[in-house]
Structure 1
Amino acid sequence: MSIKVVDVSKNYANQIAVERINFEIGKGEIVGFLGPNGAGKSTLMKMLTGYLTPTSGQIFVNDSLVVPNKKNTQSDVGYLPEHNPLYKDMFVKEYLYFIADLHKMGKNQIQRVMLQTGLESETSKKIKQLSKGYQQRVGLAAALIHNPDVLILDEPTTGLDPNQILEIRALIKEVGKEKTILFSTHIMQEVEAVCDRVIIIDKGSLKVDEKLSALRKGQQQIIQVVFDFKIEQQFVQKIPNLTACNNVFDNEWELTFKTKEDQRPFIFDFAQEQGLKILQMNIKNKTLESLFKEQTAG
C-alpha cells in the first residue's frame, strides 16, 4: 500500500481542520482529491509529506510511518504545492541541478526528468521567461527528480489556459503509469479524464471515496421533458422505472431513473398512451460535479 491514512485529525487551536479521516491508496492509482476551499485538502496533503504533524492518527507512506521517519517519506514522496515555489531568476537547468543536489542525485536524473516533462528545449531559459504551463512543468520535474514512488500534487493546473491544462493533464496521466498520484483540483473534468478514483472531503470530514467506474455504474439518469400541455403528477408517476419526478414549470418535468438503460423509449410510449406530444427532451445524467455539489452543499 503506497498511502494509508488511519483516523487522522489535525487541529489548529480550537479549529478542526481535518477530523478522523481514513483511506488507502494502492500502488499505481491516480486519485482525485476534491473539496471546497477550506475543506482541509492542503492540510492533509502537507501531513502526507511530513511537513505537518497530525494531532492524532497515523499516516503511512510505503508502509513506513511518516512522523518518526520524515527523511524516508521525503525520499518516497514528490510534492508540488499549490503555489509553485520556484527561484525564477535561475535558469531551468541550474534550478534542477540545485534540486538534484539537495536530494544527492546524479546529473543523469536531470536529463531523465527534463525528457519526462518536455523541458529539453527550455533548459537555457530563466524560469521567469517561461509560460505558466512550463513553470508548472519545472515544478513537476523538481518533484520527480529523486524518482519518488508517490506524487502529491496540490492544484497543479491553477492559472493555466485550456491548452496548458491539457498538456499538464496528459503529463500527469503519463507519469501515473509508474507512480501513485494524489492530486487536488477544482476541475471535475480533470478528475474524470485522468483518475481511477475520487476522494471528496468537506469541513475536514471524508464524504466520498469511490472508484469512478463504480460511480458511473450507479449513476442516476435524469431526463428533462416538455409535453404539449400540463399533466398531473399522478399520471406522470405511471412511467416505468421512475424513482422521482419534479414539475419544474408548467408543462416541463424532470424525471429521475436509477438505471443506465436509456429511458426515453418508455417516455415516448407513455406520451402516446396519454395522447401527449413531446416538445423537448434532454438527458441530464448525474455527473461528478452534481455529486460534489450534493456532498458539499451548505
Structure 2
Amino acid sequence: MIEVEHLSKRYGAVRAVEGVSFSVGRGEIVGLLGPNGAGKSTTMKILTTYLMPTSGRARLAGHDVLDEPLAVRRKVGYLPESVPLYPEMRVREFLRFRSRLKDVPGSRRRAAIDDAIQMTGLEDVAHRVVGNLSKGYKQRVGLADALLSDPDILILDEPTAGLDPIQIGEVRELIRELGKRHTILLSTHILPEVEIVCGRVVIIARGRIALDESLEKLKAGQAVEVEVRGPSDAVRGVLETSPGAGGIRKLAVEGAAAGDPGVCAFEVRARDEQAVEELRELIARRVVQNGWALRRLDLSRSSLEERFVRAVRDAVVVDHEGEAA
C-alpha cells in the first residue's frame, strides 16, 4: 500500500531526508519513529503530497505522489502534527465542509460524518464551535476529518498529542480497530504506544532509516554483542559468515575506547534464537583465530527503548564516519 524508494529531500545544503526506502503492506500498522529533526514529518508530508521530494519515488495505493497527487489524496487520510482547523465553524459544520472538499458523495455524506463523529467520540461536542474546544477535542476533530472519505491509508502524525490518559487509551483502541480495514503509518514519541498499537517499527535518524523491524522480532530472543580490536570491515566479514548468524549491525564503541579507530563493535543475531549460546562461543573462537583482541562478548535482550536509543546513536556514528571518509 505504501512503497518508498530512495526518497530524499534537501533544502540547499541541509539534508532533511536522505535515501529513505521502506514499504507498508495492506492492513499493517507501522510506527515511524525518530528524534526531533530526524525527518519523520518531512517524510509524511512527501507521502501526502504536501512537499515535493528532491529525488526518489513514493507510491500510495498504486499511485505516484509526483505523477498522480490528486489520486493519492483520495486514498489517504492525513492527520498532521498541528491540526489545521477553522475555529469559527462548529464541529459538524466543519466536517460537512471537509467532506465536500474530499468529494464524499452527497448520498453518503451524512452517514460518513456521523460515523467519523461516533468513532472519535465527538457526539457531545458536535454542535460546539471548534475554537472553543480543548486541545484534545481539536485533535479528535482532526482525526475525524482524516476518516471522512474512508481512505485506504491513514497517515497520523502524533495522533495522541494533547490528549488525557483516558482519551489516549480510546484513540489507541480506535487505531487498532481501524487497522483491521486500513493501512496505518503513524508517528509518535511515545514508545509504549508503538508497542501497544503497531506491528512494526521504522526508525529514522539523521534523515536515514536506522532500523526497520517487526515488534515481534525486535523483542524476541537475544543477540550477541562483540567488541574487537581489529579492522572493522574484516571483522564484520567474519561475523557475517559465521554459521548460525542471522543478521549483523554495527554498534557505537563505548567507554575508554570510544575514540579508538582500531576498535569496532557489532551486534550479531542468531538465525535460531535457541542457539545463541553456541553462536557466542563460535564468535569467540573465530575472533581469536584471526589474531584479533576480543575486548567484550555479551548477550543482550533489547527493549524498544534500548533499540531506539542505540539505532539513533549508531546512525550518528555512521554519519560521522561517512563525513570523515
Alignment TM class, shorter chain as reference: 0.7 to 0.9
Which of 94, 105, 126 is equivalent to 2:129?
126
Give me the whole-angstrom Cα distance separating, in 2, the residues matched to 1:5 and 1:104: 27
CA RMSD of aligned residues (A): 2.4
For the 8 Å contact 2:120–2:171, the answer to whether it is kept is no
Give me the whole-angstrom Cα distance separating, in 2, the residues matched to 1:128 and 1:16: 36
Q: Give 1:219 deviation, angstroms.
A: 4.3
Counterpart for residue 310 of structure 2: 294
CA deviation map 1:19-74 (0-9, x unaligned): 11111100100000000000000000000001111111110011111111000001
Could you say which structure has the larger radius of gyration? Answer: 1
Counterpart for residue 120 of structure 2: 117
For the 8 Å contact 1:153–1:184, the answer to whether it is kept is yes
- Structure 1 residue 17 corresponds to structure 2 residue 43: no
Give me the whole-angstrom Cα distance separating, in 2, the residues matched to 1:260 and 1:79: 43
Q: Structure 1 220/189 Cα, relative in aligned 2: closer, same or farther at 3 Å? A: farther
Alignment of 1:43-54 (within 5 A): 43-54=42-53
- Structure 1 residue 199 corresponds to structure 2 residue 202: yes
Q: Give 1:285 deviation, angstroms.
A: 5.2
CA deviation map 1:223-273 (0-9, x unaligned): xxxxxxxxxxxxxxxxxxxxxxxxxxxxxxxxxxx8689x9xxxxxxxxxx
TM-score (norm 1): 0.76
Which of 149, 152, 156 is equivalent to 2:152?
149
SS of corresponding position for 2:67: helix
Give me the whole-angstrom Cα distance separating, in 1, the residues matched to 2:144 and 2:164: 20
SS of corresponding position for 2:194: helix
For the 8 Å contact 1:59–1:65, the answer to whether it is kept is yes
User: 84-93 or 4-13: which moved more?
Assistant: 84-93
**1:217 is matched by which residue type in structure 2?**
A
TM-score (norm 2): 0.70
CA deviation map 1:108-150 (0-9, x unaligned): 2111211222222221112233332222111001011011100
Give me the whole-angstrom Cα distance separating, in 1, the residues matched to 2:179 and 2:94: 24
Q: Give 1:153 deviation, angstroms.
A: 0.6
**2:110 is matched by which residue type in structure 1?**
K
Alignment of 1:162-201 (within 5 A): 162-201=165-204
Q: Percent identity?
A: 49
Counterpart for residue 107 of structure 1: 110
**1:112 is matched by which residue type in structure 2?**
D
For the 8 Å contact 2:139–2:162, the answer to whether it is kept is no
Q: Give 1:107 deviation, angstroms.
A: 2.4
Q: Which stretches in structure 1 are left out of the alignment for 5+ residues?
A: 222-257, 264-283
Q: Give 1:6 deviation, angstroms.
A: 0.7
Q: Structure 1 34/72 Cα, relative in aligned 2: closer, same or farther at 3 Å? A: same
Give me the whole-angstrom Cα distance separating, in 2, the residues matched to 1:137 and 1:28: 22
Give me the whole-angstrom Cα distance separating, in 2, the residues matched to 1:181 and 1:218: 27
Q: Which stretches in structure 2 are left out of the alignment for 5+ residues?
A: 225-268, 278-299, 317-325
Q: Give 1:95 deviation, angstroms.
A: 0.7
Give me the whole-angstrom Cα distance separating, in 1, the residues matched to 2:103 and 2:51: 24
